[in-house]
Copies of this chain bind each other. A is one copy, B any other.
Amino acid sequence: MIKTKAQYEARAQIAKALAHPTRLLLLDALADKDLCVCEMTELVGADQSTVSKHLAILKETGILQMEKQGAMNVYSLRCQCLEQFFGCIESVLRQKVQAQQELVEI
């Protein structure tokens, strides 16, 4: 049940990679279709180097993979499990809203 410190750190690192609004937007976009850095830079509206670093984090964590296509680097989802992840996040959000509604109604 309870795991080692190293195991929790490994899991936390994955979660940390998923814990940034820009990276969540990138994952959402990549769920639709593969994209190159320049497309995602335009989508995000931040500096190209910023987007590149976000992608590097997701790639390093194993969530994305990258393939060179000429001068462009095309990124794609490497895992199909993100729906589970987002399902949990959404569930927590809904519960939070519900809890706040209960506070108002009392």
Q: Which residues of B contact A56 (CB under 8 A)?
A: none
Cβ of A70 < 8 Å from any Cβ of B?
Answer: no
**Contact for A91 among B79, B87, B92, CB less than 8 A:** B79
How many copies altogether? 2
Q: How many residues of A contact B (CB 8 A)?
A: 45
Q: Is the interface of A mostly helix, strand, loop or mixed?
A: helix
- Asked if A21 and B32 make an inter-chain contact with CB atoms under 8 angstroms apart, the answer reads no
Chain B: minimal CB distance from A70 (Å): 23
Listed in ascending order, the chain A residues whose CB lies under 8 Å from chain B are 1-3, 5, 8-12, 14-16, 18-25, 28-29, 31-32, 43, 61-63, 78-79, 81-82, 84-93, 95-96, 99
